[in-house]
Amino acid sequence: MTWHVSPELVASYRDSASSDAASHSLELHLVECEPCRRIAAGAVESDRRDRIWAGISETVDMPKARWLEEALRRFGVNAHIARLIAMTPSVQPSWLLAVATILALAAVAASSLGPIPFLVVAPLVPVVGVAIAFGHPIDPVHEIGVASPTGGFRLVLIRASAVLMASIAISVLPGLFLREFRWMVVWLLPALVCTLLVLVISTFTHLSTAAVVVSLLWVAGVTATELAASTPVASFVGPAQLIFAGAVLGLLALLLWRRTSFERIAGR
Amino acid sequence: MLIADRSGEALRELYERHVGWLVLRLMRRCSDREVVDEVVQDTFMGVWRNAAGFRGEGPVAAWIWGIGIRRLVERFRRRPVPTRGWDSSGAQSSAEEMVLLGVEHGDLAAAMDGLSPELRAVLRATVLDGLTTREAAVLLGIPQGTVKSRMRRARRELREALA
Amino acid sequence: MSGNVELVGVGKRYGSVQALGQIDLTVERGITGLLGPNGAGKTTMLRMMATVLAPDTGSIALLGRDPSRAEDRVEIRRRLGYMPQEPGFYRNFTVFEFVDYVAILKQVTVRKQRHDQVREVLGMVELTSLAHRKIRTLSGGLRRRLALAQALLDHPEMLLLDEPTAGLDPEQRLRFREVVSQLPKRPIVLLSTHQTEDVAALCERVIVLVEGNIRFDGTPEAMSGIAQGRVWIAPEPGDEAMLSWRTGDGKYRHVGEPPPHAALVEPTIDDAYLLLAGDGVGIST
């Protein structure tokens, strides 16, 4: 016959009323018997258990130490903004890895196909990233986000900047496969233009639609320029960069003008 | 073990399973609720931090107790706690309990009951709770030398009782 | 500065549909129920109060501020708790991380304070033991509780709950009522639902909204009073009544014109709702 503890024994143990022999038996037994431990658990009030846990949870609750958050904090970004950015869905490793792979392929192909594939794809990375990062219907927390003090334009800016920087960061390594240094930088302004454009267009229509529109416009634009121009890669060099710079300023102004539309959600 | 992958949920599960008996067992050695609650918190934080160090030797509860009782000892060492000590009403063990004790845990545990309270306390601290003589001294609030001499006496009496 | 919600002449239209028409309403501290069938405009009204939707006509004042002005809007949102009808979650987040995220959005910047608040609201909805569970492993009822928890962060002065008990079983609904009725500091609570029992049990005031218009505004007792003299029990079904159905004990309850051999009974809030909502509503569950 195996001996197990009874609730009465546990109660008398808790009240220090049990004999030493019984107490020792109980203690030794509980080390090995899970069901009896459960009986013992019942003798401690749940408030007390919760209270003790509250003290432990501060250490444990620290949501997964995200290295990105630490890195951002070291750059002087406020701790909570760093969390917001680090928790943005499209700044997650899995997505970044997928993108990095695509870019790497495009870059490697550059040796035979020229830099165009890479230069066309790279600016679209933040566009897709922004679409994934927020905006109804892809961001499920959209409505709560807009109803918060941070919500609206500020949140959009924080996340869009984060996505842009993440995209640039992961494009650096694949960029190293390109032959010339200038290919690594000429797409930066176009990336900014495309990102701003998708944000501006999102004030008129769904973010996903905006992303598609911008992607098509960009690809069509580059194709047309390349076909029409006499020098190769004309869409990225020389005067093209000035045009992009101008577009950035114009789009920024437009975005600021349209910013209140981020303060509301689109009606049904 | 589950915790090694830093899953807060795993710690919570472990907590729920072990906090009960740990609180009860510590309360029998220190009746100050606040001290015990603190020690229990420290214990689970220790579990959290040292999860990788548990290599499965023996039951998890024994490992947890080892951490817990040592935290209590540390606590006593740092600040005197007036309410320390084995809390007991001095109830006498029934014959049935003695038999059970013998059956479950061997003659030693049963024989312990025949010793005087101070000797029992020393054996409890070293044999049942697994402390070193130095730790037992802190737990019981007596000099280490006294622990050693009481252990000698206890062993002698047990040998006679078990002979 | 008044701490009310005031709608004056508020209207909203989507295409050809008038979702809300010329609403004049003042809501004060306490629990107010917004009752109405689907498509009545409840969500539209709540979204306007949550500052995420702007009215086409009329003006709104929330907690003494004007939500059409940017700075006021931020201040309102600081004091607002909103549980949308279809709350979304990042499924890979844990319960704790999600509420923490919303707390950051609410600009609770100091981490210790924020974590204390997260733990507090999780405690209020009894999700403490599931704090480290990933959201994708939670059932619908638990996710609703999570959505409620985030709305309770930082003790809002105005709490807007859109269909908070949808999909909850009776026991969960009871617990929900407990939480809402025991909120500290008596905020303005606006609770939109099509469940009359929630309203009857919890609300000090009921507003019945049907097809964008307010058909009733008063206490639950006054609402039952509307159906006074128009609710009957009879042994057979009848065609003359506006609505009639078989009750659990085999009799038939009629709202409206009585069939022969009918006896008058005390009306409930359900009966009044049926009368007010007319054809726009089915038998409530």
Is this prediction's pTM over 0.90?
A: no
Interface of A with C in 28-47 (CB under 8 A): none
Domain that holds residue C169: 1-79+157-218
- Nearest C-alpha neighbor of A194 from the set A95, A121, A253, A98: A121
Is C16 in the same domain as C68? yes
Among the residue ranges A59-73, A123-137, C175-189, C203-217, the one predicted with the least confidence is A59-73
Mean pLDDT computed over A243-256: 91
Is B47 in the same domain as B13? yes
On the question of pLDDT at A268 being above 70, the answer is no
Q: What is the dihedral of CA C280, C282, C284, C285, to 10 degrees?
A: -140
The predicted pLDDT at position A16 comes to 86
Six token digits for residue A244: 């992009």
CA–CA dist A187, C266 (Å, integer): 75
Distance from CA of C220 to the nearest CA of A (A): 30
In a domain, B151, yes or no: yes
Is C171 in the same domain as C57? yes
The predicted pLDDT at position A67 comes to 64
On the question of pLDDT at B89 being above 80, the answer is no
In a domain, B144, yes or no: yes
DSSP string over A133-170: HS-TTT-TTHHHHHTSSSTTHHHHHHHHHHHHHHHHHH
Residue of B nearest to A44 (CA): B20
- Contact between A174 and A158 (Cβ < 8 Å): no
DSSP string over A41-88: HHTS-HHHHHHHHHHHHHHHHS----HHHHHHHHTT--HHHHHHHHT-
Looking at per-residue pLDDT, the higher value among A166 and B18 belongs to B18
The rounded percent of chain B whose pLDDT value lies above 70 is 82
In a domain, B87, yes or no: no
Is B61 in the same domain as B123? no
Six token digits for residue B129: 């709770």
Could you report the per-residue pLDDT of C83-134, keeping only the tens digit for each? 988 777 777 788 888 898 899 889 888 878 888 899 899 988 888 878 878 8
**Three-point CA angle A118, A124, A125, nearest 5°:** 90
CA–CA dist B30, B82 (Å, integer): 9
In a domain, C151, yes or no: yes
- Using the 8-state DSSP alphabet, how is residue C26 labeled? E
Six token digits for residue B39: 């020690």
Is C1 in the same domain as C72? yes
Burial of B46 (0-12, 13-18, 19+ CB in 10 A): middle
Is C94 an 8 Å CB contact of chain A?
yes
Is B66 in the same domain as B106? no
The predicted pLDDT at position C32 comes to 94
In a domain, B86, yes or no: no
C161 band by pLDDT with thresholds 50, 70 and 90? very high
Is B48 in the same domain as B108? no
On the question of pLDDT at A101 being above 80, the answer is no
Is B10 in the same domain as B52? yes
Domain of residue B119, CATH code: 1.10.10.10
SS3 of residue C51 by DSSP: coil
B11 band by pLDDT with thresholds 50, 70 and 90? confident
**Overall domain count for chain B:** 2
Interface of B with C (CB under 8 A): 7-9, 12, 16
DSSP string over C230-250: -EEEESS--SSEEEEEE-TTS
Is B18 in the same domain as B49? yes
- What is the residue type of A51? R
Looking at per-residue pLDDT, the higher value among C3 and C166 belongs to C166
C41 band by pLDDT with thresholds 50, 70 and 90? confident
**Overall domain count for chain C:** 3
Is C105 in the same domain as C200? no
Is C9 in the same domain as C60? yes
Beta-bridged to residue C216, according to DSSP, are C208
Domain that holds residue B67: 2-78
Which of B31, B49, B78 is the last residue before a domain boundary? B78
Is B12 in the same domain as B68? yes
Which of C130, C155, C180 is the last residue before a domain boundary? C155
A92 band by pLDDT with thresholds 50, 70 and 90? low
Is C110 in the same domain as C73? no
Helix (H) or strand (E) holding C210: strand C205-210
- Contact between C272 and C228 (Cβ < 8 Å): no
Residues in chain B: 163
Domain of residue C198, CATH code: 3.40.50.300
Q: Measured between alpha carbons, how far is residue A149 from residues B13, C78, C167 in Å?
A: 36, 5, 29
CA–CA dist C104, A69 (Å, integer): 14
Is C199 in the same domain as C59? yes
Beta-bridged to residue B84, according to DSSP, are B30
Is B72 in the same domain as B134? no
- Contact between C107 and C98 (Cβ < 8 Å): no
In a domain, C195, yes or no: yes
Beta-bridged to residue C34, according to DSSP, are C192, C207
Is C150 in the same domain as C163? no
In a domain, B17, yes or no: yes
Is C38 in the same domain as C177? yes
Of A17, A24, A60, the CB nearest to B128: A24
Mean pLDDT computed over B54-60: 80
Domain of residue B39, CATH code: 1.10.1740.10
Mean pLDDT computed over A121-134: 80
Distance from CA of C188 to the nearest CA of A (A): 17
DSSP string over C66-89: -TTSHHHHHHHHHTEEEE-SS---
Residues 6+ apart with CB under 8 A from C80: A147, C50, C51, C62, C156, C157, C158, C159, C160
The predicted pLDDT at position A167 comes to 81
Of A17, A30, A38, the CB nearest to B89: A17
In a domain, C48, yes or no: yes
Is B7 in the same domain as B73? yes
Is B13 in the same domain as B54? yes
In a domain, C285, yes or no: no
Is C166 in the same domain as C75? yes
Is C119 in the same domain as C183? no
**Three-point CA angle A149, A152, A153, nearest 5°:** 115
Among the residue ranges A49-53, A162-166, B128-132, C26-30, the one predicted with the least confidence is A162-166
Chain B residues inside the 8 Å CB shell of C131: 8, 12
Q: Do B93 and A53 lie within an 8 Å CB cutoff?
A: no
Quote the mean pLDDT of chain A: 79
CA–CA dist C89, A87 (Å, integer): 12
